[in-house]
């Protein structure tokens, strides 16, 4: 049965009040937008969100991905509650971080040493610093449509227009596109941008610029653009080119890590990076992130040659929450990932079917645990394919779904959790069928 949503009056009132104190009435720009205003929520539990107007949603946003085990996962909340009275920050070490590091090393195939932080964006900075220190080279290569956090050194060409770029020669960096006013152009002086999923581009670039390239960073599954999988042989080819040119390979597994498999995309796809950025799913909603990687690179931070700091790193709450999540994934991995794949596939196929029945040209792409829906494009293999997607239609669908009690990210990315049930999936398909009819 569809959970018809009433009004958003409470959210509208609170948003007006918030806007007096918070720019845009929000605390992250990614929360701007929504049905009429950014919604205000009362609580979240399992696969559901409850807003201040008493509306209930099946949630496929999951806090932008972290709630892999569902909202308020019992193991993590119990572990956190148990430690609350014992203090949070020692400006020193505690036992739980050793065990957490051990679990990361156990689960993530390329991990030998681990440093912890609070957010993906900051661990990307550590990856860049280590890569430059390890190679003695300045340049970081990132790829069109990949997102590596909001800091000046990484925020470039996340959704470029590419208009001015069509005459670019093979393997030459594409024109950098700065998404935000106020960004430091200097901070991007040693960052080059290339099209992804194209070995010829990368090979030609490294033939010319390999000697000054410290690292490539990529989402090994491009979750931030349409959930694009690497072409067969692409990651293997990238690995080979990196080895040939002495360039470090950094996988940003902030979304794919612990989500697409216990060991992330590198386990699923069988190609190992030198450094891996992890965040989101490892904390079950609590703020925790990690950089994991090869011993000889990570050790540069261990003797102080590369600086990594952070007052709140391995605070007790984040650490024990992550420990509970990773223990659960290690213990129940086969069931959890099996269910995610089965339910996610059912949802993807069901969405395609109900859209086709109503003549709606919906394109569904990705994996069960994370996939994307969009319009006006087909078989998207790169950001360049995706930029022709129909954003207006996308917005209309997401609003129609919200009105029917289903919440999806504004980019059309759907995250599944271990808490979603078969009943949630069927209810979502019913809501989607109704929404497609209304579009």
Ligand X SMILES: Cc1ncc(COP(=O)(O)O)c(C=O)c1O
The whole-angstrom separation of Cα 165 and Cα 151 is: 24
Q: Which is nearer to ligand X, 317 or 425 (CB)?
A: 317
Residue 371 CB, shortest distance to ligand X, in Å, is: 15
SS3 140: strand
Interface residues for ligand X in 93-122 (CB under 6 A)? 119-121
The whole-angstrom separation of Cα 281 and Cα 265 is: 13
Q: Which is nearer to ligand X, 113 or 254 (CB)?
A: 254
Interface with ligand X: number of residues (CB under 6 A)? 14
Is residue 314 close enough to count as binding ligand X by CB under 6 A? Answer: no
Is residue 153 close enough to count as binding ligand X by CB under 6 A? Answer: no
The DSSP call for residue 144 is T
**In whole angstroms, how large is the CA radius of gyration of the chain?**
21
Candidates 12, 201, 219, 403: give the one binding ligand X (CB under 6 A). Answer: 219
Residue 150 CB, shortest distance to ligand X, in Å, is: 7
Is residue 322 close enough to count as binding ligand X by CB under 6 A? Answer: no
- Identify the residue whose tokens are 């900075």: 125
Q: Residue 362: which of 376, 342, 343 has the closest Cα?
A: 376
Which tokens sit at 133?
């220190």
Q: Are strands 56-59 and 406-407 parallel, antiparallel or unpaired?
A: parallel
Residue 91 CB, shortest distance to ligand X, in Å, is: 23
Candidates 149, 195, 344, 366: give the one binding ligand X (CB under 6 A). Answer: 149
Active site residues: 147, 252, 280
Candidates 279, 316, 321, 433: give the one binding ligand X (CB under 6 A). Answer: 279
Candidates 57, 116, 147, 258: give the one binding ligand X (CB under 6 A). Answer: 147
Within 8 A by CB and 6+ apart from 70, the residues are 45, 46, 47, 417, 418, 419, 420
Q: Is 367 exposed, middle or buried (0-12, 13-18, 19+ CB in 10 A)?
A: buried
Distance of CA 259 to the CA centre of its chain: 10
| Binding characters for ligand X, 14-33, by CB under 6 A (x = yes) | --------------------
Is residue 414 close enough to count as binding ligand X by CB under 6 A? Answer: no
190 touches 156 (CB < 8 A): no
Is residue 276 close enough to count as binding ligand X by CB under 6 A? Answer: no
Instruction: Kindly state the helix (H) or strand (E) to which residue 352 belongs, with its residue range.
Output: helix 316-357
Residue 204 CB, shortest distance to ligand X, in Å, is: 26
Q: Which is nearer to ligand X, 229 or 432 (CB)?
A: 229
Is residue 254 close enough to count as binding ligand X by CB under 6 A? Answer: yes
The whole-angstrom separation of Cα 396 and Cα 272 is: 40
Residues that bind ligand X (CB under 6 A): 64, 119-121, 124, 147-149, 219, 224, 252, 254-255, 279
């Amino acid at each position: 049965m569809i959970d018809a949503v009433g009004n958003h009056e409470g959210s509208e009132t609170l948003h007006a009040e918030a806007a007096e104190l918070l720019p845009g009435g929000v605390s992250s720009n990614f929360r701007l937008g929504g049905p009429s205003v950014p919604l205000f929520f009362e609580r979240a539990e399992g696969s559901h969100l409850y807003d201040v107007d008493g509306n209930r949603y099946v949630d496929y946003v999951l806090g932008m991905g972290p709630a892999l085990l569902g909202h308020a996962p019992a193991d993590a909340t119990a572990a956190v509650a148990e430690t609350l009275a014992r203090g949070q920050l020692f400006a020193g070490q505690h036992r739980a971080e050793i065990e957490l590091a051990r679990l990361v090393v156990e689960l993530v195939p390329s991990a030998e040493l681990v440093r912890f932080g609070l957010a993906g964006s900051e661990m990307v900075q550590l990856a860049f610093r280590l890569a430059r220190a390890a190679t003695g080279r300045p340049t970081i290569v990132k790829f069109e449509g990949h997102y590596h956090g909001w800091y000046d050194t990484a925020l470039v060409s996340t959704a470029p227009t590419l208009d001015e770029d069509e005459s670019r020669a093979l393997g030459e960096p594409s024109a950098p596109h700065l998404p935000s006013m106020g960004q430091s152009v200097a901070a991007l002086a040693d960052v080059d941008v290339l099209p992804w999923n194209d070995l010829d581009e990368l090979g030609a670039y490294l033939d010319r610029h390999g000697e000054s390239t410290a690292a490539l960073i990529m989402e090994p599954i491009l979750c931030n653009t349409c959930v694009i999988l690497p072409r067969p042989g692409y990651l293997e080819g990238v690995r080979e080119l990196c080895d040939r040119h002495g360039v470090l390979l950094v996988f940003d597994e902030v979304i794919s890590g612990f989500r697409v498999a216990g060991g992330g995309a590198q386990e699923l796809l069988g190609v190992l990076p030198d450094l891996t950025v992890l965040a989101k799913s490892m904390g079950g909603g609590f703020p925790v992130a990690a950089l994991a990687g090869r011993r000889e690179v990570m050790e540069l931070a261990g003797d102080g040659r590369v600086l990594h700091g952070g007052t709140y790193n391995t605070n007790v709450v984040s650490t024990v929450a992550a420990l509970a999540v990773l223990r659960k994934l290690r213990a129940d991995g086969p069931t959890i990932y099996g269910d995610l794949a089965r339910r996610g596939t059912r949802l993807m196929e069901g969405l395609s079917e109900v859209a086709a029945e109503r003549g709606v040209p919906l394109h569904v792409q990705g994996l069960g645990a994370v996939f994307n829906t969009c319009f006006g494009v087909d078989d998207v293999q790169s950001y360049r394919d995706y930029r022709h997607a129909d954003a207006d239609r996308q917005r209309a669908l997401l609003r129609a779904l919200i009105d029917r009690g289903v919440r999806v990210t504004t980019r059309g990315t759907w995250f599944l959790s271990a808490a979603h049930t078969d009943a949630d999936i069927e209810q979502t398909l019913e809501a989607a069928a109704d929404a497609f009819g209304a579009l």
